[in-house]
Amino acid sequence: MKTKQQLRTEFRQLRKALDIEHVEEGSKKIRDRFVEWLTAHSELQHFHLFFPIDRFNEVNTFYIKEVLEVQEKTLYTSQTNKANTALETLKLPRDAAFFFDEWGIPVPQESIMVSPSKIQVVLVPLLAYDLKGNRVGFGKGYYDGFLGPLSDQVIKIGLSFFDPEEAFEPEEHDVPLDLCITPEKIYTF
């Protein structure tokens, strides 16, 4: 069984090897799978998005943002509080303009800091995941710290260009996913 650190190294390399066309085409297919899922869950209104760090070839969630805005959903994202490394929740205005922070993360130019209490769905960044919904992130623990206090009713959806690993040993603080969407399939855990 691979360790989380081995998976982190392996999937960083796999993602690094993707060209921009693969990232964009895969992101659009993930959006299409997400729309399939969303059609069956139209009652959901409050969505938390991560936005992609281009140099890490993350899934381009701006395609999902566009779909959610057309459906008039309420959107949120996060920014890191530098003092305590926690993620703070920001409510996104429609058609928000973005700038890049020092890590290359797109951050809205205008937003309102809010409580995450209304969030119903969180799209979660990841490097790897397994068939039980355990995920491997970049190792900083930001999202586990953000997801931990949220209601158990919040749906946690990973987005990945890759299929799941068989299994790996999660850490005690890890918060598992409910779903993971790939270009070809939706995995439910």
Contact 134, 168 (CB under 8 A): yes
120 annotated to bind ligand: no
CA distance 17 to 100: 23
Contact 159, 123 (CB under 8 A): yes
140 annotated to bind ligand: yes
pLDDT at position 161: 98
List the structure tokens of 152: 């158990």
pLDDT at position 19: 96
Q: Classify strands 121-124 and 155-159 as parallel, antiparallel or unpaired.
A: parallel
CA distance 100 to 103: 7
110 annotated to bind ligand: no
5 annotated to bind ligand: yes
129 annotated to bind ligand: no
pLDDT at position 156: 98
4 annotated to bind ligand: yes
Domains of the chain listed by start with CATH number: 4-188 (3.40.50.10420)
6 annotated to bind ligand: yes
26 annotated to bind ligand: no
pLDDT at position 84: 65
Look at the alpha carbons of 13, 17, 20, 22 in this order and tell me if their dihedral is positive or negative: negative
CA 180 to chain centre: 10
pLDDT at position 170: 87
Q: How far is CA 107 from CA 38, 51, 96, 115, 180, in A?
A: 25, 8, 9, 18, 24
142 annotated to bind ligand: yes
121 annotated to bind ligand: no
91 annotated to bind ligand: no
Mean pLDDT, each 10-residue run in order, the chain (189 residues): 92 96 98 98 97 95 97 93 78 89 86 93 97 90 89 97 94 93 97
